[in-house]
Each structure stands twice: as C-alpha cells, then as structure tokens.
Structure 1
Amino acid sequence: MRSIWVFATLVVLANAGILKDSPKVRYDNYSVYQLSIKNKVQLSLINKLSEFSEKYNVWREYDEHSKQVDIMVSPADLKHFQLVLKLYGISSQLSIANVQKLIDDEQVSSRDSGTFGWKQYYELAEIYEWLDNIFSTYPDVTEEFSIGKSYEGRDIRGIKISHGSNKPGIFIESNIHAREWITSASATWFINELLTSQKEEVRKLADSYDWYIIPVFNVDGFEYSHRSNRLWRKTRQPHATSTCIGVDGNRNFNSHFMENNGASSNPCSETFAGEVPWSEPETKALSDYLTTIKDKFSVYLSFHSYGQWLLSPYGHTADEFPENYEDLLQIGDAFSSAIKNLAYSTDYVHGSTASVLYVASGSSVDWVFNELDKKVGFTIEFRDKGKFGFVLPPAQILANCEELMAGMVALIEKTNNLGYI
C-alpha cells in the first residue's frame, strides 16, 4: 500500500513541476557498438538484452538490409556484454566511445545572436515562441491549430500554411520520439523555407499545397529529453502496473496493433506499444484531429531519425505489400536520387518498413494509410548511419535540411505526376 502511495505522490510532484530540476541523467563512458547479426539465435539474444534498457539500449534495431544492430552499453556492464558477444560469436565495432561527450559537445554549440536559427537545437518553449512570431509575421498565409493536450497538459501545436483555399493538403508529424531532435529542427527550417524562400521549386511547393505541420508531437517527452534525459524516447504517462514510464507513440495507433511482434508488451521496453491502442492522449488526439480533416490532405509524412531511410507501408508484415507499392517505390526512388545528387552524396534506402527495416506495427503512417485510406505515406529517417546516431551535431542540421528539401521537391513532384495529389 505504501509503495502505491509513494508512486502516486511522485506522479503528482512530477506533474506539478516540483521534480523538474532533478539532476540530468548522464552517459559518461556509455559506448555504442555496431553488431553484425548472422542468425536468429544471435538476434534473439540482442532482443532479450534490449529489454534491460538501463543497461543495454538499442539505438537502431536489426534490419534485413544491413543485418546490423546499434546498441548502447553502460560502462558497468561492458565486460559482461563483451563476454556475451564472444560466447555467441557476435562481431562488433565500436562506433561511439563516450556518449556523454557527444551530448556535452551538442550543448556548447554556438548560438545565433538573439535570433532563432538552425545552428543549434531548441527547447519546446523556444520553438513555440518562434511559432508565435511566425503567426504574427505571416498572418495572411499561416493559421495555428492545436490537436489537443499531452498527458502533462502541454498544448500540441501545429501550423497550417496556405496560399489559397481548397488546395491539396500535405501533413507532417515530427518528433514523435523525443530524443530525435533533428526532426523538429528540420521541421521548423522547412516551415521557414515555405514562407521565405525565393527558389522556384520551393515557391511551387508552398503555393500549390496546404501544409499542416506539427514540429513537436511528443511534447512531454521532448521537454524531458531537454531537462532530464537527452536519450528519452517515449511519452511520459506512468503505468499502474510498472514503475517504467511512457509508451512508444509510434506503436500506439490502432492499425495492426501488436501484430507479428512489431512492438513490445513490456512497459520498460523502448518499443512498448501500450496496453491498448491510443492509450496515450497524444496519439488519440492526433488520430481524432486527422479524422476530422481527412478530406483535406493526401500525403502523410512522419519525421524520424536515424538511419537514412524512406519507409512506406506496410510496417506490420513483410509478406504483403500495398496494391500501389510499385508507385511508392517510384516515389521513393525520386526522393533518394534527389538527395544522392546533392554535394553530400548521402545515401537513402527506400522500401516498405517491414521488408527493408523491421516489423513495426501500430505506426502513425500505417494507420493513416490503412484506416484513413491515404495512399501516400512515408516515414523519413534522417541522418546519420550511426557515427553520431541520435546526438547528431548541430553543425549537420542545415545539411540535413537541404537534403530534406531536395527530397521533398522530388517526392511531391513524383506523387503529383502519379495522380495521387
């Protein structure tokens, strides 16, 4: 009885902000290894280790394309980890020696002199303040919308950019996973370009479509990743049956929920789907809002990191493909080719989530595709391939944004040419 009271008290204190200034989680000498997986026994072992997220945190899950896993290991468990790898014959390569050093370097990035820019990462309040300035500066073509409130009571805000009425709509959801800061940075840059760029191809994007963009969807988790734990991924709603907090929002939608081991039932797992679909107020709010405007948009995009992937449905199975899969592949080829042709020569792999990456059920993109019948939906996994992982240096923000714009121009053009818009 006492433990329940203590747990409830902690929840109340956290929601009241009393625990807000608790010390940040540090990752001194935590290391990230890239593992080469050769068989199902090895993969099963890594999946079991990943359930102990405090010790072994999977950054990038196994995929059929690379047959690799990126996993972060605590220094206290490193010797045991290396012994296990040796016993199971798993080859590894150190990719990040000290995660905390990357985090520290990220925090000391140069600030734009008093103005919002894209040389650093910003907290939620700063992003919302920037949005307010956008609304006041461009009142004729922008409109604020809110899909609702998070578990901790924060507004989940979005922006609509429209240069006319009844134009085809494109919806972008960003930062559903809290630690993926490059996503909201890229989303705010993209908003700014739609409003300010004079490049012909960007003006065509801005003027031809209505854009609905949520720069930070997982607002509670995002705030927590800035204030307490840089590598926090999930939402922040507690569970009655576990001390572990939060749900993977991108496994919580009511589309093939929990099918084919595409999510975890363990509340402590990073891919915990929740006990039921839409258990999180954030995902329920988004699904309700999308349903009300389902006739106003044709394309749905979800911004993520990392790995450099463009992923289409299905996520729940690699044995079936959508009827328009060949068209989705054409769109993906246009996207990846446009990015490859830039000076950075960055490689993006495209295909269905389950066939080229891994089975992931209950995602937002799959729900929109399957339940709202929007036949063009993609998850974009931004830079990089593991050198920095989730802690992508601020110096790479603009390069990532340039790649996003090149890819978006090509993606929308091909989608339009194929008759989906």
Structure 2
Amino acid sequence: MGTLTKTVVLLYVTSAVLCTPFVNQLQPGQEWPTRSSVKQPYHELVQNETDTKSDSVATEVEVVAEEEKAPEEPEVPDDNNPKVLAEEVERIDYSGAQVWKVSTKKSSTQRLINQLASEKLIASWGGNHSAIDILVKPNALENVTAALKKKDVAYYVMIEDLQQRINEENPPLDENELELQDRRGHRMTWKQYHRLEDIHGFMDYLAKTYPSIVSVNTIGKSYEGKELKVLRISDGKQGNKAVFIDGGIHAREWISPAVVTYFINQFAENFDVESDDIKNIDWYFLPVVNPDGYEYTHKSDRLWRKNRKYGYGPSTCTGADLNRNFGYRWGGKGASSYPCSDIYRGSGPFSEPESKAISDFFKNTATKFSAYLTYHSYGQYLLYPWGYDNALPPDHKDLQSVGLLIAQAIRKTGGSEYKVGSSSGLLYPAAGGSDDWAKSLGIKYTYTIELSDTGRYGFVLPASYIEPVARENLAGLRALASVVNKLD
C-alpha cells in the first residue's frame, strides 16, 4: 500500500453565511445555512428532498520496559508486508489469553511488569497508580503466575478466555433490527458495533435528510486513503459557541465511535426539541480518527491500537500511536521512540496523516472552539491537561469543577462513577496527546474521557453496553453544554 499524498484545498466560507466557518470546499447540496434561517425539516418533507437529489489508564497506560523495549504487537503472518491485503491476513486468535488486574502498590512491581513485557509474556491494557491490567499470553500463564507469586504481588483474573469474550462482544442483529435498518435509511443501530462504511453512510444520510442543520465534510485522508469525515450540526446563528468532539483515535476502543455517533444521532434527529444549550452550539464530530486501524480491528486483530502506516524502524513495524503524535510537548514522557511499541510516538510531531489532518483543520478554520472532547476507553475517567508531565494549567480549578459536573450528570443518569483529575496526576504522564495539544491552542474546556468499563470487559465491552454508556455520557455532554453557553 503506497502512501497517499493528496493536496486538500482549504477554502473559507464567507463569514456572512457562517458563524463558524468550516474548511474544505463543500459538495453540491451541502451549503451552509444562512444565519437564523433554520427550521427542523419534517420527515414527510425529507422524502421529497432526497428524491430530487442524486445519491451522492489512563490515557492508555502502556508498559514500556527500560531502554524502551516495549512488547511488539501480536504476530500476524506477513502483516508487515505491504503487498498483503488486509483481507488476506489471518485473523489473530486470542484463545487462552487472559486479562489480569495486578496490584502495583509495591514499588518493585513496575520493574517486574516491565521485565515480563520485554520478554513478550504480557502486554499492557491500562491502569492507574494502584493497579495495572495486563494481557497474559496463553503460553506464559505459568511463568507469569510464578513470577508474581515469587514477588508476592497480588492479582486476580478478570477475563478467563479473551477470545471467548471477543466472540461474544458483537453478536449479529436480530430480524427485527435488520428490518428497522431498512426502514430507517441507514444501518446504524447502537445495538451493534458497526464498520466504517456504516458510520460514514449514516453521516451522509443525516446530511441529506437534515440539510439545513447537518453538513459532512472530509478534512483529510488516512494513510490507506480512507476519508476523515467530520459532521457539523448547526443552526447557523451568529454568536453560537463551538465544540469539537472526536473518537476512535485508538483502533481497538470500539465503544468510542459508537458513543460519538449516538451523540450525533440524538442531536440531529431531535434538534427542533433540543434545549437552547444544545442549539446555541455548533457541534463538530469526527467519530473515527483512525479509520485504517478501526477497520483492521474488525478484520484482523481485534486488539490493534495504532494507525496502519507501514515501514517504521529497522524491523519495518507498522503504525504509530496517534495519541502520542500531536505536536505539543511531543516525544516526552510516556511516549516511546521504539517503532514496534504500542505507544510509538511517530517519527516527528504530526508525522501521521490522521493527526496532521486534525491539526490542519484547526489551523485553517476561523472557528473559535470553546471545548474539545476526545473519547477513549476504558477506565471511567474524566481527564484534563496536562498529560505530558505532572503539571497543571492555570485554569485547572475550572477544569476540575466542570469535570465534576459532568461526572455528576453521568452518575445521576446511569450510575457509573467517573474519576476526575489531570491526566498526569490521576494516571501517568503521556506526552503528545491530542488533549494537551488542544489546550495549547487556547481551547478552554479540554477533556479526554475514558469510557466504561473499569476492567471486567476492558476493550471488548459487549455491544449491549453501547446504549447505557452513551446515554449517561450524553447527560454529561449536556452538562458541559450548559457551562459552555455561559462563557463570554
């Protein structure tokens, strides 16, 4: 697969039409609304419109052994050969692999974990200051057990057979849901984790169905040439605030794009009855920042994390961690220079087309954003900058208090407890994150939100959890919207 280089022409839309100009030339039929001209379209009018148009823990805490010899990703036959198509790559089988929660209260435990990781007996899933979740490979169960017992390190098994959990995670839809898909006009259900084609098709459907408030534009392309689609919901009023939300930076965190698309659906389908707090904000959504990696987790390796850029390092490893590739304090703590590491920072700031596309969008838009939210999993954390080191921004008290409001709204709606704090303080330092970069641009309310759960399922959260997790986080988003609307 060759690197796709394509010049994207960035055009400002005149401020006489937009209150928050977007970038990229709009496609026919996707013009932005004139200010104060919008009424929610009724469904009976939509059919006429469409008929006349053509179809057109942490910030994940990854273990890095001393001298940055982090574990390589699981081996896939010929996976690093760019001539091999993803469809031809054998799906990785995690039968017999287990996930353990290991106490890190003893100071010597981290060194032991690093040693086991460097020997490729384990891989890290995430953790915090008191415990770390590790994936233990089937042939390493006895050795890892013995090593932990020898050091008297406490642990317990959270997932007995990882492949079984993967098999049960995303069951097919029943006949009723399939019929509902056909009637609805798109395939998204929030009862299943959907492929990229379904997500992008859903976004395009909304743009056609609600053209007066919804627009979809491509801000760039991934390494493999997949579109990075941003959907905007706006009534075009002058003076609207603006909020940017993304998901799917890490490929294996399927709950993230599912939750972000749930937000999109709620706002677009119910805009006419939404509160003023929602209507007075221009909402920008990028549900899948890492489309190549996301598709790869569906086809080949369910636990793939990075993007799919090929050819890093002497061993020609694949991929960089996009959440270590943003330009603010790039290359610092918690980011690896070892290309095979799951937290490889890339060859330089914004070396990856996906992170660069986001950077270019913010660089070229005249929109002044009041908040930036990036959704990840897992752990149930509301994290704010800084992540690059154990430091705090000047307005950290504001970030803490608003974070607590969001957490309270989540708890009242669904009962889930989200911890609030700075990324580095509550978890571990991790430089090159998108939240630090967004904060460095002057965006007031910047958060990384680690969604459910706290480890029972981890990255393989069953699809039955999508709607409960999304509903409670929608309540949290509404709490943020009320704060954003009070900003000067």
Q: TM-score normalised to the size of structure 1?
A: 0.91
Distance 1:296 1:180, change over 3 A: same
d(CA) in 2 for partners of 1:10 and 1:373?
39
Unaligned ranges ≥5, structure 1: 1-6
Residue 386 of structure 1: aligned partner: 455
Residue 329 of structure 2: aligned partner: 256
Distance 1:264 1:55, change over 3 A: same
- Tell me the secondary structure at the aligned position of residue 72 of structure 1: strand
d(CA) in 2 for partners of 1:163 and 1:204?
11
Residue 20 of structure 1: aligned partner: 87
d(CA) in 2 for partners of 1:50 and 1:323?
37
d(CA) in 2 for partners of 1:142 and 1:88?
57
Residue 325 of structure 1: aligned partner: 396
What is the letter of the counterpart of residue 284 of structure 1?
K
1:58 equivalenced with 2:127 (yes/no)? no
- Cα drift, residue 51 of structure 1: 4.6
Residue 467 of structure 2: aligned partner: 398
The answer as to whether partners of 2:102 and 2:156 remain within 8 angstroms in 1 is: yes
Choose from 178, 181, 194 the match for 1:113: 178
1:78-93 equivalences in 2 (<5 Å):
78-93=141-156
d(CA) in 1 for partners of 2:326 and 2:118?
22
d(CA) in 2 for partners of 1:275 and 1:176?
18
The answer as to whether partners of 2:335 and 2:343 remain within 8 angstroms in 1 is: yes
Choose from 154, 158, 168 the match for 1:95: 158
- Tell me the secondary structure at the aligned position of residue 141 of structure 2: helix
d(CA) in 2 for partners of 1:35 and 1:8?
33
- Cα drift, residue 203 of structure 1: 3.6
1:222 equivalenced with 2:294 (yes/no)? yes
1:19-418 equivalences in 2 (<5 Å):
19-51=86-118, 55-61=121-127, 63-64=128-129, 67-111=130-174, 112-114=177-179, 115=181, 116-166=188-238, 167-197=240-270, 202-238=274-310, 239-259=312-332, 261-293=333-365, 295-318=367-390, 320-342=391-413, 344-370=414-440, 372-417=441-486
- Cα drift, residue 286 of structure 1: 1.0
| 1:116-154 deviation digits (Å, cap 9, x = unpaired) | 211000001111111121111111111112121111111
Residue 4 of structure 1: aligned partner: none
The answer as to whether partners of 2:244 and 2:285 remain within 8 angstroms in 1 is: yes
Distance 1:48 1:235, change over 3 A: farther
The answer as to whether partners of 1:51 and 1:268 remain within 8 angstroms in 2 is: no
Question: In proportion to residue count, which structure has more helix?
Answer: 1
Unaligned ranges ≥5, structure 2: 1-76, 182-187
| 1:45-65 deviation digits (Å, cap 9, x = unpaired) | 22343356x64121113x23x
Distance 1:328 1:138, change over 3 A: same
- Cα drift, residue 39 of structure 1: 3.2
Larger Rg: 1 or 2?
Answer: 2
What is the letter of the counterpart of residue 254 of structure 2?
W
- Cα drift, residue 265 of structure 1: 1.7
d(CA) in 2 for partners of 1:328 and 1:415?
12
d(CA) in 2 for partners of 1:107 and 1:20?
19
- Cα drift, residue 84 of structure 1: 1.4
d(CA) in 2 for partners of 1:411 and 1:45?
41
For this pair of structures, how many residues does the alignment match?
401
Distance 1:359 1:24, change over 3 A: same
Distance 1:279 1:40, change over 3 A: farther
The answer as to whether partners of 1:331 and 1:415 remain within 8 angstroms in 2 is: no
The answer as to whether partners of 1:172 and 1:302 remain within 8 angstroms in 2 is: yes
d(CA) in 2 for partners of 1:140 and 1:198?
11
- Cα drift, residue 294 of structure 1: 5.6
